[in-house]
Amino acid sequence: MSDPGSGAERSIGQLVASATAEMSALVHDEIALAKAELRQDVKRGATGAIAFVVAGVFLLFSLPVFSFAAAYGIHNLGLGLAWSFLIVGGAYVVLAALLSLLAIAKFKKVKPPEKSIASAKQTAAVLQNVKPHPRLEKERVPELPAGVERALAER
């Protein structure tokens, strides 16, 4: 910063220029800080997303293992092996049907963005009533000499 005593020697224009430069530097620093924070948040979000994907892959790979374990567990209770696998497969079909019904119920609750549509309609209505800005008569462009017009027309 500058000395407080030197402010009396500076003109108003210099003070305004100094304030503008300092404000510009402040805005640039704020933007740099925001970028750094966003960059850090994006890295954290990407790491979290990758962890979820890896967890999903492991869960998907474990599904056949647990299916075989369930089928052989039912078989050990005295039921035939084919029936055991049919029971496990049927359980998956019932689970898929229940999840599908849940998804359909959630999709039926989805509504259009009414506030955004109303705002867009209001903006369109306002813009339809706006009259264009009156323009002054176009300034007359001086005529070019005949030789220049021919040269431009030949291009």
CA distances from 89 to 24, 80, 96 (A): 67, 14, 11
pLDDT at 3: 55
pLDDT-wise least confident of 30-44, 64-78, 111-125, 133-147: 133-147
Question: Two tokens at 124?
Answer: 């369109």
pLDDT of 141 > 70? The answer is no
Per the structure block, which two tokens stand in for 155? Answer: 């291009």
Q: What share of the chain is helix, strand, coil (3-state, %, to 5)?
A: 80, 0, 20
